[in-house]
A and B are shown apart, each in its own frame.
Chain A
């Protein structure tokens, strides 16, 4: 149990370091990636490429057919249907992501760097998340 918690913490640490090095904590850089009609910074394509290369290799080598160390089985999403919730939710998220240059991971990773600076965004985002969970069950 302690080791399971430690492994989650280690995953978080690696993730947080990766986000910082990748440039994902800089909202201006994220907006620069989305600004394909202006001065376009393609860096985030490489963030995705690096992330997917490592994760996909591991997934196809170890996850399919295997078993995790601290759980009885892998918890993988079972939904297969592309439904309106997926599309509507992604449209709303994309607009917010573009407007602020922030998505949930970098918001959390910014807490220690500038608590006062990120708090308003974090608080409103959590309210939105809770509202979204409720709305999701009703549409």
Chain B
């Protein structure tokens, strides 16, 4: 294992992480809901309809607005929002959607909220998806 010191951003990543945790705590203390993006998105897909749609939409609009506020004040730039080639990208997108729905959560719901509650299911989910991710990157970067 070789650490990529040039790309390592401990302070920014910890601070950003703290904000993510604060956002999850805020949603729980106000709406009483878990901040799990895949679950909130799934709740927006047809045929769902009720008042439960509106807070979900408000949350999604907030996520879109957050980074735009940063770029608006010149505090943030990004080179590319995707890096994978087309075929790989579509396969990945399908797997992310399928997997988070079948596994009841993603990096936010299981990774931040579930681990904070010491949920055994979330610990299992995180250990599994991180391992699968490591394997996928290994195969893609070092075998091909």
Contact = CB atoms under 8 A, between A and B. Distances in A.
Given A26-B78, A112-B65, A99 B91 contact: yes
Contacts of A102: 82, 92-93, 96
B112 A48 contact: yes
What's the dominant secondary structure at chain B's contact region?
A: helix
A20 B76 contact: yes
Interface in A95-122: 95-105, 107-114, 117-118, 120-122
Contacts of B38: 104, 129
A50 B14 contact: yes
B119 to A, nearest CB: 7
Contact of A38 (B2, B95, B102, B106): B2
A101 B136 CA distance: 10
Interface residues of A, number: 117
A80 B52 CA distance: 25
Interface in A58-78: 58-59, 62-63, 67-77
Interface residues of B, number: 112
A74 B96 CA distance: 27
A43 B66 contact: no
| Most chain B beta-carbon neighbours within 10 Å: one of A9, A42, A98, A123 | A98
Contacts of A77: 34, 104, 114, 119, 121
Given A74-B32, A89-B103, A133-B45, A15 B23 contact: yes
A20 B112 CA distance: 16
Interface of A: 4-29, 31-32, 34-44, 46-56, 58-59, 62-63, 67-77, 79-82, 85-105, 107-114, 117-118, 120-133, 135-136, 139
Given A37-B138, A113-B81, A131-B97, 9 more contacts: A8-B62, A12-B66, A14-B22, A18-B18, A51-B111, A67-B32, A71-B33, A128-B99, A132-B98
